Amino acid sequence: MTGLLSLPPELRDEIYTYIVDTPTDNIAAFEGQQELAQSRHLRNVAAQPAISRVNKEIRAEVLPLFYKRNDFLVELSQPADLELAKRWLQAIGDADVRSLRWLTLCGWGFVNLGSCRRARRIRCNFWVKVRFDLMQGQLEFDDESEVSDGEEGGGGRRLRKDIRQLREFYQRMVEERRREGRGFTREGLSGLMDIFQAFL
């Protein structure tokens, strides 16, 4: 037998790593939905590597590496973004969802800062980008975020409260997964996306 599958598994993994590693963040979307890439933060649609379509054995070896080694971005600024993200989770399936290591949720939100004399509400827009390490159970706000834990001002209290709630929700999810001895599921990540969008 000759060809890729005749090589030792360790060597195949090295080859697959070169194929599946992407230098930039991936947009969690279906191929052909390039309209999502209009955002300055999102450029690369997360298409499964072509080699994963060669046969079932290679697919079973490649896809866990692809999802484990790359960071997948999901923008949730609009309700349609949330539906698209949930369709992406459905399409990749629970087995590949369990392989995900990095999931970054981002989007535009706003805070009402009060009202001026003419009873108009003053809104402050902000960009939030949170990177979730699904294997280690950690989250961090990205440097690109225009909000942080120490945000002050009229809307700062609401932001600090929302950030704290997001952290607490994620920590509860992580503890539950560890107690049950299983990874994240489509349902669990869909719930995380719902909470994140509500945060915005």
DSSP conformation letters of 53-108: GS-HHHHHHHHHHHHHHSEEEEE-SSHHHHHHHHHHHHHHHHHHHHH--EEEEEEE
Q: How far is CA 71 from the centre of its chain?
A: 7
Mapping DSSP to helix (H, G, I), strand (E, B) and coil, where does residue 179 land? Answer: helix
pLDDT tens column, 7-63: 999 999 999 999 998 766 676 654 444 444 444 333 444 678 889 989 999 999 999
Q: How confident is the model at residue 123 (pLDDT cuts 50, 70, 90)?
A: low
